[in-house]
Amino acid sequence: MKGLFKNNLFVVYPNAKVFAIVMLFFGVFTAVVISPSLLIGYVLLGMTGFSANALAGLGKEYASRWSRYKLTTPVKRSDIVKSYYISQILWLLVGTGFAGAAIAFSTALHGFPFDKTTDPFMLFVVGAGISLFMSALFFPLFYLGGEERSEVLLIVSLLGGVGIVMGLSSLFNTVFPHMNVPQLILCGTSILACALLSFLFSCPLAVAVFKRKGF
Amino acid sequence: MEHILELQQVTKAFPKSDFTLDRVSFSLPYGSILGFVGENGAGKTTTIGCVLNTINKDSGTVRLFGKEMSDADTAMREKIGVVYDGDNFPPYWTARQLSQVMAGLYANWDHALFQKYLEDFRLPEKQKIRHYSRGMTMKLAIAAALSHHPQLLILDEATSGLDPVMRDEMLDLFLAFVQEEDHSILLSSHITSDLEKVADYIAFIHNGKLLTTVSKNDLSYRWAVMRCRESQFSALDPADILAYRKRDFQIDVLLPDGREALRKYRDAVVDHASIDEIMLLLVKGERI
């Protein structure tokens, strides 16, 4: 698995480096300027951007014969897929780190930037939810649809992730029209749990599709 | 004789492209090199895919080191080195990054040996692979395949991008590799002169079917091509004809035993058969 993680890092690293530098400057700008909407945009971009970049790297990897070569090395197909899922979690944590740092920096400069204390939690739920649902959709679709469609599958997965999170939010808003804080936390936790479960169930599905694939 | 690799009745159909790898059987003994020859699209890479499990075969058995290899047999894949034609590795990596990944994949990865190959092949370690020439990428792939001390090398058109001097050096490297009696090489190539130099056995494949497997000794000292006229051809014993091809003024006949044919047909003109000529006769010629 160690080699697979290094592989995943080297595939994503060139683009992640550029994205991290842009996010760093954008983060400083966002923290200095007093604009909650800009900060919300930054948090969501950070939490989904690093994950989306990692998924885009997968298509890049499959452009060479390396994807086939890797199958001839001493690794199981299931381990290859698992390594991608674990890498996605790590990239989500990196994105969360950037988002958290921007919120913390903004708070240090101007005080708490949101209306309610639950807002950062809900932002985290939305960002992590989109990222996890997007990844859960992308991997099985990628192995099913083929590497030549990776760009469109990434867009479909991203839109799917946004759609599912919005759908679940609408559902909870209908169930609890006037949410109090405990209900808000319950709904947020439920969305996060759904996202995590779909991410976990997506892994064996992607493994099953990948095992049937020939290269 | 023990075999490092044995294929029996391996079949794989691709309905969309109407191509079928049809009951391919051959075996590779320990300590030898088997050349795998066939035109483009004949099924060489598909066969190699079935051997390495990158393609799921429909039926048949592939035995490596005496047993069938499943996806979970990672220890078996430690003993196999692979080189594909073209871009084996992501072009945005450097040789150093490749070594780091390989060290995490192979328990026996020998970084010092890899470094030695990089120096011998004059491959810059810090340069991105995309800036390598085609020959350099092939040399890098060969270096990577050898640097985890494999027992079996599977080379799919591995010498195709190399100039004659470097090709010769690589062939010497392959010959040195099989000096260890438990080492073997499956070498698929279009460059039949390479196979003539190093292969102990040649397997001919055409249109998904294995035409024949022959030892190079038989091929060099027994197989021959008779040049004859129509009247001489009709006098030949059909049992002596492997394949024949009508040309403008003569008929070329592939014979399993040239010396025997010279004894049997005294006026005949019998020449040594090159692998190229044998392949042409087997592929384009007719059978009786």
**Average pLDDT per block of 10 residues along chain B, 288 residues long:** 93 93 95 93 94 95 94 94 90 95 96 96 94 92 96 92 87 94 93 89 94 90 91 89 90 91 86 89 87
Model confidence pLDDT, tens digit, residues A139-150:
999 999 877 888
Cβ of B107 within 8 Å of Cβ of A74? The answer is yes
Separation of alpha carbons A31 and A43, rounded Å: 11
Orientation angle between helical segments A77-110 and A36-61, nearest 10 degrees? 160
- Among partner residues A1, A74, A214, which is closest to B106 by beta-carbon distance? A74
Model confidence pLDDT, tens digit, residues B24-53:
999 999 999 999 999 888 999 999 999 999
Residue the block writes with tokens 């004809």: B241
pLDDT at A34: 81
Residue to substitute from A11, A13, A64, interface B, most B β-carbons within 10 A: A64
pLDDT at B6: 96
Q: Is the pTM of this model over 0.80?
A: yes
Cβ of B89 within 8 Å of Cβ of A66? The answer is yes
User: Residue A1 — very low, low, confident or very high, per pLDDT cuts 50/70/90?
Assistant: confident
Separation of alpha carbons A78 and A167, rounded Å: 32
Torsion A195-A196-A197-A199 (CA) sign:
positive
Cβ of A71 within 8 Å of Cβ of B52? The answer is yes
Residue B247 · residue B202 · CB < 8 Å: no
Q: How far is B88 from chain A (nearest CA, A)?
A: 5
- Mean pLDDT of the A184-213 span: 95
pLDDT at B130: 93
Q: How far is A126 from chain B (nearest CA, A)?
A: 34
- Continuous H helices in chain B: 44-52, 74-78, 95-105, 111-120, 134-146, 164-177, 192-198, 216-221, 230-234, 258-264, 275-284
B9 touches chain A (CB under 8 A): no
A60 touches chain B (CB under 8 A): yes
Separation of alpha carbons B7 and B214, rounded Å: 15
On average, the pLDDT of chain A sits at 93
pLDDT at A31 over 80: yes
**A contacts of B82 (beta carbons < 8 Å):** 69, 72
Dihedral of the CA atoms B211, B216, B221, B224 (nearest 10)? Answer: 30
Model confidence pLDDT, tens digit, residues A37-93:
999 999 999 999 999 999 998 888 887 889 899 999 999 999 999 999 999 999 999
pLDDT at A115: 84
Cβ of A64 within 8 Å of Cβ of B90? The answer is yes
Residue to substitute from A11, A65, A147, interface B, most B β-carbons within 10 A: A65
In this prediction, the answer to ipTM > 0.85 reads: yes
Q: How far is A57 from chain B (nearest CA, A)?
A: 11
Contacts of A98 (CB under 8 A, 6+ apart): A20, A23, A24, A27, A46, A50
Cβ of A3 within 8 Å of Cβ of B103? The answer is yes
pLDDT at A205 over 80: yes
The first and second tokens of residue B263, run together, are 């004894």
Q: What length does chain A have?
A: 215
